[in-house]
Structure 1
Amino acid sequence: MDVTDAPERRRYEGRIDGELAGIAEYRASDEVVTFVHTEVMPGFEGKGVGSTLVRAALDDVRAHGKKVRAVCPFVKGYVEKHSDEYGDLVA
C-alpha cells in the first residue's frame, strides 16, 4: 500500500494499485497534528489497511518533528497499543 500526505485535503491517503483504500483525516498546526477520523473503504476492510495507514502517518509526523493528538478512536487505540514505538509522539 502506498501512503501519501494530501495536505490540500488534510488527510493521509492509502492506495492499493492506485485505488483509494483508506484515509486518516487531520488538522495540523506548526507543532501538533490532530487526527480526527480514520476510514477504510468498503472492500478493503479487514486487510490491515487502517493499521498500515496510521503507522505511515505517524512515521511521517515524526519525520517532520511534530507531535500527535489522537481524537480519532482508531488512532488513539493504535498509539496506546504501540506506546513503546509511538508514545513519545503524544502531545
Structure 2
Amino acid sequence: MTDITVTRDDAESRYEIRSDDTLAGYAEFELRPGAIRFIHTEIDPAFQGQGLAGILAEKALTDAAASGDAIVPLCPYIAKYLTTHEITGAEIRWPKRPGTAPAEA
C-alpha cells in the first residue's frame, strides 16, 4: 500500500506531497504579512492521474487556513480547487484581475 504524505517545507516555501518517500509534487507559496499566496502547483508526470493534486491542495489549504493567514490563490489549480471545495475556516482573498475596474456601489 502506498503511503501518501503532505508536509510544509518553509525552507523551500512549498507544501510537498510524497508517495512513499518519493517527491510526487508540490504547491509553492509566498508568505506576506497576514497572507499566504499560492503561486504554483505541480505534480510529477509519473504521478499524474492518481488524485494527488487534489490531496495536496486540500491538505495545504487546510493547513494554511489553520494558521489564520488569508489564502490568496494566484495559482490557477488552487483557485479552481477553491471554487469547488469548502476549506473550513479559510479566509480567501481573491486576486484582482488586471485591467478590471472596481465594482461601483
TM-score (norm 2): 0.80
Does 2:74 correspond to 1:77? no
Q: CA deviation at 1:27?
A: 0.3
Q: Which amino acid aligns with 2:92?
A: V
Q: CA deviation at 1:69?
A: 0.5
Q: CA deviation at 1:42?
A: 1.7
Q: Which runs of 4+ in 1 moved over 4 A?
A: none
Larger Rg: 2
Equivalent of 2:54 in 28, 51, 56:
51
Tell me, what secondary structure is at the counterpart of 2:11? Answer: helix
Does 2:92 correspond to 1:90? yes
Q: CA deviation at 1:43?
A: 1.0
The structure that is helix-richer by fraction is 1
Structure 1 alignment gaps of length 5 or more: none
Q: CA deviation at 1:89?
A: 2.3
Equivalent of 2:41 in 23, 38, 43:
38
Structure 2 alignment gaps of length 5 or more: 94-105
Q: Larger relative contact order (C-alpha < 8 A, sep ≥ 6)?
A: 1
